[in-house]
Amino acid sequence: METTQRDELANFLNVLPPVDFCCVYGSTLHPNNQDKSKMVDYILGVSDPMQWHSENLKMNSDHYASWMVHLGGARLITNVADKVGVGVHFNPFVNWNDRKLKYGVVRMHELVQDILDWDRFYLSGRLQKPVHLLVDNLDIEDVNSVNKKAAVAAALLLLPSKFTEEDLYAKICSLSYMGDLRMLFAEDTNKVNKIVKGQFDLFQSMYKPFLEECETKNLLRSSSTEASQAKLVQDSSLSASRSLVSSLPASVRSQMGKLLGEKKILSETGRVLGEVCIGSREEAAKCMEKVMKRRVMVSSARQAVSGFLAAGAINATLYLSQKMRKAWNSRS
C-alpha cells in the first residue's frame, strides 16, 4: 500500500477513541482495482468494547441514530455482539472524506482466541487473507502466523496431490466461506476467485514462509519453475495427513476426535495429548470439512442476527440488499 493511501486510511482513526489493533481490507484496496467508490472495511481491536463504544458515542453522537443513545448505546452494542453475535459489532455505511467505510469492533482477548483456536472462525478467517495493518500494539501479526500455518494445513488436506499455487490460495480463502449462509443468497459466487486473482502477489508474500516449511518437512514440493503459477505436489500419505491434522487448532482437532475417535499419546515434553484416529486421508478431509462448515454456519447466522439487532433494521436491510444485488449480478 502506498504511503499516501495508508496515511489517508489511518486518519480515520483520529476521529475515534484509541485502539490496540487496526487493519483494513476490501476490494477497493486491491492493487489492480481502480474503483475507489466501494466500501473500505476496518477491524478495530480494543481492550474494553463497552468503554470504547461509550467514548465513541460521545465523540461522534451526530453520526448515530438517536435510538441507539436512548437504548443505552454502548451497553446495547456490546451485549448484542457478545451474547447474540460472535463478539464483533459492525457499524456499516460510515461516510468519511468521500469514502464509504465499515468498521467492526472486537475485544482483543477474543480476537487472539479466535486467531489461535478458531473457536468462532470469524475474524481468524478474515486474517487468513491479505489485510493492511495500521495499528498493531500487541504484535497480532506475529500471533497470526499460527492461524496462517493452520490455514495451509487445512487447505492441503482438502486439495488433491497436484495443484497450482492459485488453487492453494483459493482453498485457503474458501475456508471461511464453507457453510456461510450468506453464500446461498447474499454473496458474489465468484468472490474467492476475485480475491485471489486481485491479490495474488500479496497471498504469495503472506504464505511463502509456510510453504517453505512444508517443503523442508517433505510435505510439499514444486514441480515447476514458473513462479506465477508453480505446480505443487504434496505427500498424500497417511503419515503426512496426520502431520497436517496435528497443525490444526486444538478445538478443531477435538471435534474431529469426537467424530473419528482419539487416542492418547505422550509428547516430547511429557504431556499427554489427544491424537485424532485417521483411517484415510479422505476420511480426515471430510471430517475436518464437516467441522468447519458447522462452525462457519453457526457464526455467520449469529453475526447476521447480531447485525440486524445492533445496527438497526433499516441499516441491516440496506446492507443485505446491497450484498444480494452483488450476488445476483454474479449469477447472471
**CA 193: distance to chain centroid?**
16
Count the helices and strands in the chain (H runs, E runs).
15, 10
Whether the predicted pLDDT of 2 surpasses 60: yes
Residue 270: Cβ within 10 Å count: 6
| CB proximity list for 176: less than 8 A, separation 6 or greater | 121, 122, 124, 125, 126, 128, 296
Lowest-pLDDT range of 65-79, 155-169, 301-315: 65-79
What's the whole-number mean pLDDT along residues 155-176? 96
**Which amino acid, 70?**
H
| CB proximity list for 322: less than 8 A, separation 6 or greater | none
- Residue 96 corresponds to which cell in the numbers above? 468519511
Give the whole-angstrom CA distance, residue 192 versus residue 200: 12
Give the whole-angstrom CA distance, residue 305 versus residue 316: 9
- 102, containing H or E segment: strand 99-107
pLDDT digits (tens, 9 = 90+) for 54-105: 888 888 766 554 434 433 455 556 655 555 557 788 888 788 888 889 899 9
CA-based R_g, the chain, Å: 21
